[in-house]
Structure 1
Amino acid sequence: MYLLRLALASLNNRRFTALLTVFAIALSVCLLLAVERIRTETRASFASTISGTDLIVGARSGSVNLLLYSVFRIGNATNNIRWDSYQQLAGHPQVKWAIPLSLGDSHRGYRVLGTSPAYFQHYRFGRQQPLQLAEGRAFADDPFEVVLGAEVAQSLGYRLDERIVLAHGVAKVSLVQHDDKPFRVVGILRRTGTPVDRTLHINLAGMEALHVDWRGGVPARGAGRVSAEQARALDLQPQQITAVLLGLNSRIATFALQREINQYRGEPLLAVLPGVALQELWSLMGTAEQALFVVSLFVVLTGLIGMLTAILTSLNERRREMAILRSVGARPWHIAGLLVIEAFALALAGAALGLTLLYVGIAVAQAPLQQLYGLYLPFGWPSGYEWRLLGAILLAAVLMGAVPAWRAYRQSLADGLSIRV
């Protein structure tokens, strides 16, 4: 115990250098834990986005691309699926339910998804959790009704019965607004922590109504325009959609149906298993993850080397102090232990401050990260892996502290009493 008091008194005597060392270690620990926390939560967020869906079907492209635009609303489809192809898929004997998805429009940077009521009945996220409405109801027969994700409603301040105007395309700033066909908010979904929170959901008929008077990718002008009331009276069955989510009667038939869809002769289609596509996505990102983790480790190593340098630099200044300690009865291993305890105390203080900085950073960045990237960083105790990382840092600090401890151990009493200039 007396060695600990001596170590703390010695650090207090060199408080400025000690505080700089602690702060350097804290920043490196905070960076390491932040990288690990973001990596873990990103994986969990992606994995919990969709569950209970056996196959995702879209135009033939890449499996990762299909997963990204159909589930995560990232990127765009290379092509669409004909409506008659969707009907054949939905009517297949092995298909229990089918959810059509139509993308292409947006509202103030948030994606608009055209779908059917089956979306609210069969879509699952997390551990088979269904979508639930916080307010209002799902859209019905009126094509100009919209159900908002929780993040859309919160960030834009929308309430039930408000009128909103959708925009053509997916840019945050669009020059083409569907201002002649406003939508009424009829429902707001509960928060899910998935891209559903950042999506506006409309009926497929509503998506068709928005573009019923478009020709060649541009809206008609003058007499060619179709008003919202006129659109309601038209046949608004879509001619094509972006993708389809399929739930099967038996998972045993998944691979057989996947092969059948991939060989479909009506048009080039691609069917992927969500879990397999997600693993492929992580395999592509694995190298970047490891590289970022290694960089963080080197930053921690740099902080510990700074601590080692500070202790070694102070050895010459502390020769007389150590000689006095020896003269009053301290043994060589007491001197060595004193320096090891100092190194451990600096690393422990740095780790504690690093954890504090991490949680302060989470508190500050939690809302922006969720709003901009859909990444939710929860407050919580460090995981077992994070505790092991902290333990490894403390162990590395003790090992590094053994270097100046060994040098101090070998210093003789005479060397300490006769300072060399």
Structure 2
Amino acid sequence: MTLLPLAVRSLWNRRATAGLTILSIAISVALLLSVRQFSEQARSAFASTISGTDLIVGARSGDINLLLYSVFHLGSATNNVSWPFYERLAKHRQVAWAIPLSLGDSHRGFRVLGTNDDYYRHYRFGDDRKIEFAAGRAPADLYDAVIGAEVARTLGYKAGEQIVIAHGAGSTSFAEHADKPFTVVGVIAPTGTPIDRTVHVSLAAIQAIHLDWQSGMPAPKGQRVSAQDARQQDLTPDSVTAILIGLKSKIDTFQIQRSINEYRGEPLLAILPGVTLQNLWSIVGNVEVALLAVGLLVTAAGLVCLLVAILASLNERRREMAILRSVGARPAHIFALLVSEAVGVAALGMLVGVLCTYLALAIARPLVQHTYGLLLQWPAWSLTDLAILCGFLTAATLAGAIPAWQAYRRSLADGLTIRL
């Protein structure tokens, strides 16, 4: 019988122990690969959320906080930017376009974004991709709304549906703008960004639904403004949450940023999205390194389990080894048999671990997209991942060589001697 079938039968006879060893290796490999894949996929998803925007302007706070609430719709702004400043900035000779953003309301757990037509014309994400509609069009009427792909899928909305916006950004709200319902007129094609989880309306609409609100509560019934009466009011906003800026020349970026940060009229902050993303990942990088270290330790534990399993079975297999020697097997054959078993168990564990990585990603993709609006791609295996797998297989071979060397050194009579 050749070496490979003999190794397979030997493992099958010890299938319980071999199965547990394969499981421990699979868990360790899956943990290590999952940490790498999730970090790479998350980094790519965050980086592709916004492109072509030179500066983001908001109230003075932290640069990461400004990036999170303006682009990823996570958290809240500490203050707003006045409308006169926005108008002044939009008319600046070095500014090509300026997109105002107004956040603070929600619809059934999804954030509501107030903006203008420049958002649909100039906002870019991914590889300079623009916003496109899977159905319908951009808002034209005061009470028109455009929803992201995830909103449409989760809530089952289509063009023509009527929706009510709730006050505040919580998933549950008891204060709704029920007297001013909106009509869905468009569904944005999937983007893999927070746009998919956003309800878009006009800035004037945000102003209209808050005309009769004071201190976060609706005015008494006799003082409320109807949906039709709101159309006759001046709906110019007093302030916006943030502003996205595109410049005519990239050379002017730092000059404009400095002038905004030093503006004396109100405390403002201008950030470069790319630089701030790098700062964000420099913070997350420490956690990533820690998780990778844990993954390496678990992987080492899996190799130790493999070594212990072979060593534990070696004494029980003394007679088996002696019989193989008696029928003509050389010490080198015994050595190769044990190493083959170790490599086979490690290879099966690696295969199961890779499959578990795909399974973990399949489970995490809808959860991450539903929670953060980020689309994780399927694994694209890099040279680093292949090097990890090859390194693990090499380590498993070396681990299997230790008990194999012990079996190699034993004599034929050793396995035939009865020990009490």
**Shorter-chain TM band:** over 0.9
Aligned to 1:52: 52
Moved more, 354-363 or 193-202: 354-363
Q: Give the distance between the partners of 1:13 and 1:48, measured in 2 at CA.
A: 52
| Aligned residue type for 1:343 | A
Aligned to 1:242: 241
Q: Conserved in 1, the CA contact under 8 Å of 2:11 and 2:341?
A: yes
Alignment of 1:251-400 (within 5 A): 251-380=250-379, 382-400=381-399
TM-score by length of 2: 0.97
Q: Give the distance between the partners of 1:312 and 1:375, measured in 2 at CA.
A: 47
Q: Give the distance between the partners of 1:402 and 1:74, measured in 2 at CA.
A: 52
Moved more, 355-364 or 208-217: 355-364
Report sequence identity in percent.
Answer: 58
**TM-fit CA distance, 1:380:** 4.9
Aligned to 2:415: 416
Q: Give the distance between the partners of 2:34 and 2:59, measured in 1 at CA.
A: 38
Q: Give the distance between the partners of 1:328 and 1:314, measured in 2 at CA.
A: 21
Alignment of 1:157-306 (within 5 A): 157-306=156-305
| Aligned residue type for 1:45 | A
Decide whether aligned partners of structure 1 residues 417 and 224 sit closer, same or farther in structure 2, where only a CA change above 3 A counts: same
| Aligned residue type for 2:67 | L
TM-score by length of 1: 0.97
* Secondary structure at the counterpart of residue 158 of structure 1: coil
Q: Give the distance between the partners of 2:413 and 2:60, measured in 1 at CA.
A: 82
**TM-fit CA distance, 1:41:** 0.8
- What value does the CA root-mean-square deviation take over the aligned residues? 1.4
Q: Conserved in 2, the CA contact under 8 Å of 1:320 and 1:419?
A: no
* Secondary structure at the counterpart of residue 230 of structure 2: helix
Stretches of structure 1 lacking an aligned partner (at least 5 in a row):
none
Q: Give the distance between the partners of 2:219 and 2:310, measured in 1 at CA.
A: 76
| Aligned residue type for 1:412 | S
Deviations 1:185-241 (A, max 9, x none): 010000000001011111000011111111233210111111111111111000000
Q: Conserved in 1, the CA contact under 8 Å of 2:211 and 2:230?
A: yes
* Secondary structure at the counterpart of residue 317 of structure 1: coil
Aligned to 2:146: 147
Is 1:34 matched up with 2:34?
yes
Is 1:138 matched up with 2:142?
no
Q: Conserved in 2, the CA contact under 8 Å of 1:98 and 1:245?
A: yes
Decide whether aligned partners of structure 1 residues 229 and 412 sit closer, same or farther in structure 2, where only a CA change above 3 A counts: same
Aligned to 1:108: 108
Q: Conserved in 1, the CA contact under 8 Å of 2:45 and 2:376?
A: no
Q: Conserved in 1, the CA contact under 8 Å of 2:194 and 2:374?
A: no
Aligned to 2:13: 13
Q: Give the distance between the partners of 1:365 and 1:246, measured in 2 at CA.
A: 33
Q: Conserved in 1, the CA contact under 8 Å of 2:63 and 2:271?
A: yes
Deviations 1:150-205 (A, max 9, x none): 10111010010110001111110111111111110010000000001011111000
Moved more, 67-76 or 303-312: 303-312
Moved more, 44-53 or 396-405: 396-405
Q: Conserved in 2, the CA contact under 8 Å of 1:121 and 1:130?
A: yes
Stretches of structure 2 lacking an aligned partner (at least 5 in a row):
none
| Aligned residue type for 1:205 | A
Aligned to 1:2: 2
| Aligned residue type for 1:247 | G
Q: Give the distance between the partners of 1:296 and 1:109, measured in 2 at CA.
A: 35
**TM-fit CA distance, 1:381:** 5.3
**TM-fit CA distance, 1:324:** 1.8
**TM-fit CA distance, 1:68:** 0.4
Q: Give the distance between the partners of 1:299 and 1:202, measured in 2 at CA.
A: 49
Q: Give the distance between the partners of 1:363 and 1:296, measured in 2 at CA.
A: 20
| Aligned residue type for 2:170 | A
**TM-fit CA distance, 1:383:** 3.2
Q: Give the distance between the partners of 2:257 and 2:367, measured in 1 at CA.
A: 39
Q: Conserved in 2, the CA contact under 8 Å of 1:319 and 1:419?
A: no
Q: Conserved in 1, the CA contact under 8 Å of 2:322 and 2:416?
A: yes
